[in-house]
Amino acid sequence: MNQRDDAEFTPWPESEAARYRRAGIWRGIALAEAVHATAVRTPYAPAVSYRGRTLTHIELYRRAAELATGFSNLGLASGDRVVLQLANDDLFVPALLGLLRLGVVPVLALPSHRHAEITAYCRMTSARAYIAQLGESRAHVGETAQRVVDACPELQHIVMCPAAPDDAGPPYVSLSSLVGGPVDFPAVESGATGLLLLSGGSTGTPKLIPRTHDDYLYSIHASIEVCDFTHETVYLAVLPMGHNFTLSSPGILGTLVAGGHVVVSPSPAPSVAWPLIEEHEVTVTALVPSLLAMWLRTSEADTRERLRSLRTLQVGGARLDPDTARQVFDTLGCQLQQVYGMAEGLVCYTRTDDSIETICQTQGRPMSPHDELLVVDDLGSPVPPGHVGELLTRGPYTIRGYYRAAAHNAEAFSDQGYYRTGDLVRLTDSGHVVVVGRSKDQINRGGEKIAAPEIERHLCEHTSVEAAALVAMPDDVLGERACAYVVSTDPRLSLPALRGFLRERGLADHKLPDDLRLLKALPLTGVGKVDKRALQQLNVTGERP
């Protein structure tokens, strides 16, 4: 390994990079520049709507520039990292574009993250600021922000949205007060890291994904083309806006670059999202399978009529079962598009002209002709066509390494620069991917990823826990739920007590175990590792919350 362990970014080999640049795959344009070019083409078309208020493309451009000025006056500059954690509201897009405009690198945290995760991201990136939503009660800054301030003294600013409470002094500042005289925005280098996305993870510590302006913009343009996004697209952002699926597949950024209109839904519930679809004549939205199931359950005789503007429903993030997939056409009256993607890069889509069977039974095919896919066995050799193996991938928008994680990168990437996805797949003759399972130590809980070792590490900090293993169990609603198998000195250790313990440690709610089962010992494999397959086969009669 010739890389420093704190290397921020593993570049593509120069020969590949040169090829991507020469072929115009990487356009040499920074992300904010690409969005702002649309403002010049379609200045007065609606860009972002939230709770009855709409910003046109030119207004969005101005709002982002104002915020960029404010961020710059705070002392933030190109290359600095800032953790951005906003709910689905009207500030997310201007704040994101404001940071990108300055070349400041946003770390895209999810609203569900709490102080354990936010503190880790701040420390890993030596972040200079944390942009946070005001606490629930709106009267105080919220527990997460307070705990992050205590744990990260090097953080210079906590920017509260929309405004910090009156009695909160430094380091708290209000996003709404961030204005100031004009500044000269720097030219942003398109080969530099544009943003840091979160990895679903399968290790004890969270990993961050450095996406360059060039590679991310390419993935946006390729998505726009495959999904046929135009200035007529009206996209409803239902899933968390900081997730790669919502942000760029083609999502929010794809819609804006294509000159379309993003409508922000503060909740995925049909009672909130469906009236927005009707009001704004939304043409496309994206869901995870568990939310699709909820939409299907909620549907009534008039649902098709109410959702008549909706042409395409994208579903991805977790396995969609083919029977549920088939119901989309009749029950909701729109096209289904399966999306199999990952924040590390590769995104596959089913196409409009695929047969219904292909759309229902596969997770699509790679969006770019430059994506390279290998399906390999345990020893790393390619499997025969049509057989199941682990998917490895590389290409112009799939990273070559995680952020500051050289030791982990040596395992997560092959010598030839392929990313080991940890997904078990089969390729069809037509090149479509069928995801059949997973080899990575992760739980996919309704599309939200849990790195099992991360939670096991916390569980083992409990005074009565001697050993712990977190394992995926089938769940009717979520697809999978998390079961903790624990060896404890306390036979009365309960699920609520364990969940309370983890909550106190500041973990996001979706990472807390759904079941607990106490064992005398954890089963081990021949090489002495915890045998998670054996645990999955034990009948779960354990406690549930």
Residue 340 in the binding site for ligand OOB (CB under 6 A): yes
Greatest alpha-carbon pair distance for the chain in Å reads 67
Residue 72 CB, shortest distance to ligand OOB, in Å, is: 31
Residue 449 in the binding site for ligand OOB (CB under 6 A): yes
Residue of the chain from 253, 342, 482, 495 that contacts ligand OOB (CB under 6 A)? 342
Residue 423 CB, shortest distance to ligand OOB, in Å, is: 5
**What is the footprint of ligand OOB within residues 216-255 (CB under 6 A)?**
244-245, 249
Contacts of 11 (CB under 8 A, 6+ apart): 17, 400
Spatial CA neighbour of 375 closest among 393, 362, 358: 393
Tokens of 124: 């890993």
Q: x/- string (CB under 6 A) for ligand OOB, residues 397-436?
A: ------------------------x-x-----------x-
Residue 490 CB, shortest distance to ligand OOB, in Å, is: 35
**CA pair distance 87, 97, nearest whole angstrom:** 16
**What is the footprint of ligand OOB within residues 317-336 (CB under 6 A)?**
317-319
Residue 389 in the binding site for ligand OOB (CB under 6 A): no
Residue of the chain from 201, 210, 316, 542 that contacts ligand OOB (CB under 6 A)? 316
Residue 339 in the binding site for ligand OOB (CB under 6 A): yes
Residue 94 vs 389, nearer CB to ligand OOB = 389
Spatial CA neighbour of 100 closest among 119, 81, 118, 126: 81
Q: Which residue type is seen at 372?
A: E
Residue 342 CB, shortest distance to ligand OOB, in Å, is: 4
Residue 129 vs 315, nearer CB to ligand OOB = 315
Stretch that binds ligand OOB, among 175-183, 316-324, 407-415, 453-461 (CB under 6 A): 316-324
Instruction: Please list the alpha-helical segments (H only) found in 228-342.
Output: 244-248, 251-257, 270-280, 289-298, 303-306, 322-327
The footprint of ligand OOB on this chain (CB under 6 A) covers a number of residues equal to 22
**What is the footprint of ligand OOB within residues 177-216 (CB under 6 A)?**
200
Q: x/- string (CB under 6 A) for ligand OOB, residues 343-382?
A: x---x---------------x-------------------
Q: How many helices (H) and strands (E) does the chain have?
A: 18, 25
Long-range contacts of 376-385 (CB under 8 A, 24+ apart): 380/414, 385/427, 385/429
Residue 343 CB, shortest distance to ligand OOB, in Å, is: 4
Q: In degrees rounded to 5, what are phi and psi of residue 435?
A: -85, 120
Alpha-carbon distance values, 120 to 454, 458, 500, 536 (Å):
12, 14, 20, 30
Question: Which DSSP category does 480 fall into?
Answer: E
Q: Which residue is nearest to ligand OOB (CB)?
A: 341
Question: Which DSSP category does 509 fall into?
Answer: G
Residue 283 vs 338, nearer CB to ligand OOB = 338
Residue 498 CB, shortest distance to ligand OOB, in Å, is: 25
- The answer to whether the CB of 402 falls within 8 A of the CB of 451 is no
**CA pair distance 354, 128, nearest whole angstrom:** 47
Report the half-sphere exposure of 391 (CA within 13 A, side-chain side): 29
Q: Which residue type is seen at 46?
A: P
Residue 286 CB, shortest distance to ligand OOB, in Å, is: 8
Residue 433 CB, shortest distance to ligand OOB, in Å, is: 9
Under the rule (CB under 6 A), what is the footprint of ligand OOB? 200, 244-245, 249, 316-319, 338-343, 347, 363, 421, 423, 435, 438, 444, 449
